[in-house]
Amino acid sequence: MAVGTIPPQLSADDARRVADVRRDVWTAGLRGAVAGVFIGSTGWLGARHLNVLPKAFRTPNHFSLATMGCGALVSFLSSLAAGKNSVQRIGDVFSRGAVKPDAERRPVSALQLARANAFTDDIAARRRGRAHALSHGDDEARHGFAPKPPDS
């Protein structure tokens, strides 16, 4: 499928709604990046001016870190919020052309079923064997020590 073509399962209205949601997420991300850069830079400059920052954090590297870190964080959070808010408009689009989960599965052959049951029975027998060995306390004969008696 070429870039920009609409899948056959979607109508033109559905494609427009999906494009609107995509646009909302991108614009919210860009707005968040601008706001985050502003918040990070003014916050760092204000904290430096008020002598709130330790001397080690008053370097240009920390200014860049605060500016870009706040920009990235606020951009991500605003994109996430916009996507969560606008996905309600396209909830029905996700089910268009979807294949039922049972239709994707291949039928299980009798041999596969027998192997799975044998494997499960083998695991259950091993667990029963371990439980039996632990309950009978033959640790002294096997390992040279007796198990600690339970606290009364």
Tell me the two tokens of residue 105: 């599965």
Centre a 10 Å sphere on the Cβ of residue 70 and count the other Cβ atoms it contains: 22
Global model pTM greater than 0.85: no
What distance in Å separates the CA atoms of residue 25 and residue 22, rounded to the nearest whole number?
A: 5
What distance in Å separates the CA atoms of residue 14 and residue 11, rounded to the nearest whole number?
A: 5
Are the beta carbons of 74 and 33 closer than 8 angstroms?
A: yes
Task: Read off the pLDDT of residues 5-18 as tens digits, 9 standing for 90 and up.
Answer: 777 777 888 888 88
Task: Read off the pLDDT of residues 34-83 as tens digits, 9 standing for 90 and up.
Answer: 999 999 999 999 999 999 999 999 999 999 999 999 999 999 999 999 99
